[in-house]
Amino acid sequence: MTNNRITDHPVLGKLENQTPVKFTFDGTTYTGFEGDTIASALLANGIRQLRVHEETGAPRAIYCNIGHCFECRVTVDDTDGVRACMTTIRENMKVDSGKLQAVPFKSKPEEWPRTYAEFEKSSKKDGVPHV
């Protein structure tokens, strides 16, 4: 198991007497410390990736870590769009990574199919359906 915890620090001292907290991320159980955010608890366990870009599927993780950029949004106990960097872990919390989403309205209005036949044609062009 990866442990990225800084247990000894020349100025801040030793990290001692921490209370462990168990939570799940995408179905796997991890242990963090009381006071950890979802982002810090996962990184301590060696996990960086928190979601994929909803449209492209590109991997994403924390960027600002102080709640401004919303790059770290995850699903917590079935509520989506929760910032992993601002949310403290709780015992048995269920965290799920952000997933790929359907993008039905990506194109410009003038490119929208006028008929179902046009829709089918444009869907097949990409090889995969839009929805």
Stretch that binds another protein, among 19-27, 41-49, 90-98, 113-121 (CB under 8 A): 41-49
Number of residues located near another protein, criterion CB under 8 A: 37
Q: Which of residues 85-104 bind another protein (CB under 8 A)?
A: 85-88
Residue 91 or 120 having the CB closest to another protein: 91
- Taking CB under 8 A as the criterion, the residue among 1, 9, 115, 131 binding another protein is 9
68 near another protein, rule: CB under 8 A: yes
* Token pair of 23 as six digits: 């939570």
Residues in Cβ contact with 32 at an 8 Å cutoff, skipping those fewer than 6 apart: 20, 21, 23, 40, 41, 42, 44, 45, 89
40 binds another protein (CB under 8 A): yes
Query: Could you give the CA distance from residue 57 to residue 70 in angstroms, rounded to a whole number?
Result: 16
Query: In this structure, which amino acid lies at residue 118?
Result: E
Q: Going by C-beta distance under 8 Å and a sequence separation of 6 or more, which residues neighbour residue 35? A: 88
> Taking CB under 8 A as the rule, does residue 114 contact another protein?
no
Terminal alpha carbon distance of the chain: 38
Chain residues in the site for another protein (CB under 8 A): 4-12, 15, 35-37, 40, 43-44, 48-50, 53, 58-69, 71, 85-88
